[in-house]
């Protein structure tokens, strides 16, 4: 598959790319149904800002938006599968 950036989303990708340049790691929390593909596409799109310091790309999973659930997810992330 080939993905192209939609013009209206260029500013969002640029903002994420700027943030990744300063980051040591990135954690993605996309939807459950297409999560790996969406996170992988975002990672690849933002990786074009090749000077990113992010050492690892991980996926966090939580099913409720509470302080404890989010903390638990961020404490125990898993690697993002980019082989789809």
Question: Average of pLDDT values for 61-72?
Answer: 91
- DSSP 8-state class, residue 8: G
d(CA 38, CA 41): 5
Q: What is the pLDDT of residue 16?
A: 82
Provide the residue ranges of all domains of the chain, joining segments of one domain with +.
7-79
d(CA 42, CA 75): 22
Sheet holding 25-28, edge to edge: 25-28, 56-59, 78-79
Q: pLDDT for 35-53, tens place per residue? A: 677 777 777 777 655 445 5
d(CA 43, CA 46): 5
| Cβ atoms 58, 82 nearer than 8 A | no
Q: 3.40.47.10, 3.40.50.140, 3.40.50.1980, 2.40.50.1020: which CATH number matches 7-79?
A: 3.40.50.140
């Amino acid at each position: 598959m080939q993905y192209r950036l939609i013009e209206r989303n260029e500013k969002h990708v640029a903002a994420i790319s700027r943030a990744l340049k300063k980051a040591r790691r990135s954690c993605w929390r996309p939807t459950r149904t297409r999560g790996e593909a969406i996170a992988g596409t975002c990672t690849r799109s933002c990786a074009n800002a090749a000077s990113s310091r992010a050492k690892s790309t991980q996926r966090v999973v939580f099913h409720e938006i509470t302080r404890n659930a989010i903390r638990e997810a961020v404490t125990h992330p898993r690697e993002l599968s980019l082989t789809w």
